[in-house]
Amino acid sequence: MKKNIVLFVLFVLPIVAYLFFASGVNSFTKLPVITPKVADLGNWKSLRGEQVSLDNKITILGFSGTEILKNRGNLFNLNEKIYQRYHGFKDLQFVMICPLGTEKDITNILDAFDDFTDVSGWHFVFASPEEIQTYYNQLKLVGKLDANAGTPNVYIIDKERNLRGRNEEKEYKEGYNTFHPSELSNEMLDDFKIILYEYRAALKKNRNASKQL
């Protein structure tokens, strides 16, 4: 009997545990849409003078606020936990919406990043606090911007400009708090992998369809 119990614990239990977690709602299934068809960024210009669009890109979207230099640790967390791991993915971009007047602070942060990171996937676009608030309102989120037109949360926007997250009965998550590295390493990374899996699966399906034709 003891031998059977030991064998069960060593071999059967791990398989059962794996199947349990693999069958979870967010395990390589479609990540729910929180807000469909969010607005594009319009004519707002980036730090490099470019016009940035959310169309046909997976976007990690954030709102830096006027205290960006004070809260730069949040960006460093996001850069370390998510950006450096995936920035080579050509259909991915990291976009921060920043208040006008913070351009110098952003430049200083990018200069610091440039010592250890390819910053080409980072895009900082600028608008007035009023424009930023109006844009944020149309995301129709539970969370709010602070008095500095910023939030520590970042959001996943898919190629069709849908804001994605968790919208389950027991768990609702519209954004991921960059102040907490563990949240980026766990919840955000898990959900981001689902988005990548969706597009890779769609790409594979399209390739197979083309071969059949």
CATH number of 26-212: 3.40.30.10
Indicate the domain borders of the chain.
26-212
54 vs 26: which has the higher pLDDT: 54
For the chain, give percent helix, strand, coil, nearest 5. Answer: 45, 20, 35
Rounded to whole angstroms, what are the CA distances from 47 to 29, 51, 97, 143, 209? Answer: 36, 10, 11, 27, 41
pLDDT tens profile 151-207: 999 999 999 999 999 998 788 999 999 999 999 999 999 999 999 999 888 777 666
Q: What is the helix (H) or strand (E) element at residue 118, kind and residue range? A: none
pLDDT at 25 over 50: no
Instruction: Assess contact for 58 and 90: CB atoms under 8 A.
Output: no
pTM of the predicted structure, to 2 decimals: 0.83
Q: Which residues contact 183 (CB under 8 A, 6 or more apart)?
A: 176, 177
Rounded mean pLDDT of the chain? 87
Instruction: Print the SS3 string covering 1-57.
Output: CHHHHHHHHHHHHHHHHHHHHHCCCCCCCCCCEEECCCCCCCCCEECCCCECCCCCC
**pLDDT band (50, 70, 90) for residue 27:** very low
Q: What is the pLDDT of residue 7?
A: 53
- Among the listed residues 71, 36, 45, the one whose alpha carbon sits nearest the alpha carbon of residue 153: 71
pLDDT tens profile 39-57: 999 999 999 899 999 999 9
